[in-house]
């Protein structure tokens, strides 16, 4: 019997790592571009010129946040597409030049869009190396460098992990790769490209592409209170890449197809809004998350944190996403708990929503060394802009009662 408690009056959404609602200000910015300014940005008449100038204004705004040049920003239809373009596009670019297949490196805790792109390449004869993280979810730059081969084309490391929130030392890896590339140049070897999937990081971390030392950076709207199916790929000038989608040659020929003008405007607005409030919102989320964990732990002493420690910092830098919590409740099946909590108007995740449908246990938690029992008893909670102390207190009150009734 489930406890007879009234569900919370409004939905308690704690799965912002899966996707976010659309910020009303973003929606407002997008509104003119369906009924009023609906021209094709390639058109030469006023309707087209207005649409094009909206796209270019969005590109300029995003470029300034990434400290990039405007021509280094390519719009796509989401994070997965950006990742596919980065990985498959650089492999194709290499193949076109060298007429042979090469080697790619990624961390073992990448998003499915990275891992499945690499799997597709492996099936086409490319060599793939995956670097395991330590038990807290951090990839060691040394391990990445050790895996390099003369024919390595690309290294891909997720900026912040979507399940346990671990923030990778991207700038450090970027610097090491730059030094390796200088040596490779002397040996007449082609340079290794560096891609980072920053879809989870965009809300919380500094996206300065040059400080990160990345050649390619994937971002999307659906994780930062922007529209779904919008995204971008930062492509550093000089990076050799082939397109995946052919057509009218839009986006410098790297992503053909009429641009999603409203979506692009929304993506830029979302990134502007989140970048402005980043530091303050991080502090608020850390406060709420740590309060939640401390109080839940005092009621349920046997819960076990997965991933980085909550107070872990490295020379003042965050090591875990401020909104992320992932933990085991021994003896409980995480997936069942998601369904039970839903009855009380609480939405949480078990791991990666992107693998949903497949009830496969999380590969990320396995890569951290967790056994299958521990993986299955894990849940992920990711807070967001509208998360309040009241909501979390309701959760803290209901969870122990719910667990007691399930025993």
Ligand X SMILES: *Cc1c(COP(=O)(O)O)cnc(C)c1O
Show which residues are catalytic. Answer: 354
Nearer to ligand X, 181 or 282 (CB): 282
In whole angstroms, give the CA distance from residue 308 to residue 80.
Answer: 25
Q: How far is the CB of 355 from ligand X (least distance, A)?
A: 11
Annotate each residue in 351-380 with x if it binds ligand X (CB under 6 A) or - if it does not, as one string: ---x--------------------------
162 binds ligand X (CB under 6 A): yes
Of the ranges 76-84, 278-286, 330-338, 384-392, which one interacts with ligand X (CB under 6 A)? 76-84
- Considering only CA atoms, which of 17, 53, 30, 12 is closest in space to residue 226? 30
Long-range interactions of 118-123: CB distance < 8 A, separation 24+: 118/87, 118/156, 120/88, 121/87, 121/88, 121/91
C-alpha distance from residue 39 to each of 33, 35, 47, 48, 75 (Å): 9, 10, 5, 5, 17
Q: How far is the CB of 258 from ligand X (least distance, A)?
A: 19
Per CB under 6 A, contacts with ligand X among 212-241 are: 220, 222-223, 231
Of the ranges 194-202, 243-251, 259-267, 380-388, which one interacts with ligand X (CB under 6 A)? 194-202
In whole angstroms, give the CA distance from residue 73 to residue 63.
Answer: 7
Q: How far is the CB of 24 from ligand X (least distance, A)?
A: 21
Nearer to ligand X, 216 or 396 (CB): 216
> How many helices (DSSP H) and strands (DSSP E) are in the chain?
14, 14
Nearer to ligand X, 161 or 402 (CB): 161
80 binds ligand X (CB under 6 A): yes
In whole angstroms, give the CA distance from residue 194 to residue 177.
Answer: 8
Give the list of residues 6+ apart from residue 121 with CB closer than 8 angstroms, or none. Answer: 87, 88, 91, 104, 128
Pairing of strands 304-305, 324-328: antiparallel
78 binds ligand X (CB under 6 A): yes
Nearer to ligand X, 107 or 220 (CB): 220
Q: How far is the CB of 353 from ligand X (least distance, A)?
A: 8
Distance of alpha carbon 357 from the chain centroid? 19
- Considering only CA atoms, which of 83, 140, 132 is closest in space to residue 108? 132
Among 113, 168, 328, 378, binds ligand X (CB under 6 A): 113
Binding site for ligand X (CB under 6 A): 78-80, 83, 111, 113, 158, 162, 197, 199-200, 220, 222-223, 231, 354
């Amino acid at each position: 019997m489930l406890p007879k408690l009234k569900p919370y009056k409004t939905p308690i959404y704690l799965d912002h790592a899966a996707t976010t609602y659309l910020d009303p200000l973003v929606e407002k910015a997008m509104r003119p571009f369906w009924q009023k300014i609906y021209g094709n940005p390639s058109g030469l008449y006023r309707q087209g010129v207005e649409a094009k100038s909206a796209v270019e204004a969005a590109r300029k705004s995003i470029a300034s946040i990434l400290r990039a040049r405007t021509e280094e920003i390519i719009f796509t239809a989401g994070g997965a597409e950006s990742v596919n373009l980065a990985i498959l596009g650089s492999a194709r670019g290499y193949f076109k030049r060298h007429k042979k297949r090469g080697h790619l490196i990624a961390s073992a805790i990448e998003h499915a869009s990275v891992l499945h792109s690499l799997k597709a390449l492996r099936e086409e004869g490319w060599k793939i190396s995956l670097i395991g993280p330590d038990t807290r979810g951090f990839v060691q730059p040394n391990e990445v460098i050790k895996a390099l081969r003369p024919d390595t084309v690309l290294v891909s490391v997720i900026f912040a992990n979507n399940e346990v929130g671990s923030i990778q030392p991207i700038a450090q890896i970027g610097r090491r790769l730059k030094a390796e590339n200088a040596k490779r140049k002397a040996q007449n070897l082609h340079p290794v490209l560096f891609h980072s999937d920053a879809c989870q990081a965009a809300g919380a971390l500094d996206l300065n592409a040059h400080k990160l030392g990345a050649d390619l950076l994937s971002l999307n709207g659906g994780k930062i209170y922007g529209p779904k199916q919008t995204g971008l790929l930062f492509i550093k000038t000089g990076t050799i890449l082939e397109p995946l989608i052919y057509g009218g040659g839009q986006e410098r020929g790297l992503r053909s197809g009429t641009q999603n003008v409203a979506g692009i405007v929304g993506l830029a607005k979302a990134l502007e809004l989140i970048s402005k409030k980043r530091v303050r919102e991080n502090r608020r989320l850390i406060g709420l998350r740590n309060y939640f964990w401390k109080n839940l732990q005092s009621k349920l002493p046997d819960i076990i944190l997965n991933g980085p420690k909550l107070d872990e910092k490295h020379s003042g830098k965050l090591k875990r996403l401020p909104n992320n919590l992932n933990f085991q409740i021994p003896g409980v099946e995480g997936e069942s708990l998601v369904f039970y909590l839903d009855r009380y108007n609480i939405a949480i995740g078990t791991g990666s929503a992107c693998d949903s449908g497949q009830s496969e246990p999380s590969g990320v938690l396995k890569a951290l060394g967790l056994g299958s029992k521990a993986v299955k008893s894990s849940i992920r909670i990711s807070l967001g802009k509208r998360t309040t102390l009241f909501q979390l207190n309701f959760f803290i009150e209901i969870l122990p009662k719910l667990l007691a009734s399930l025993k």
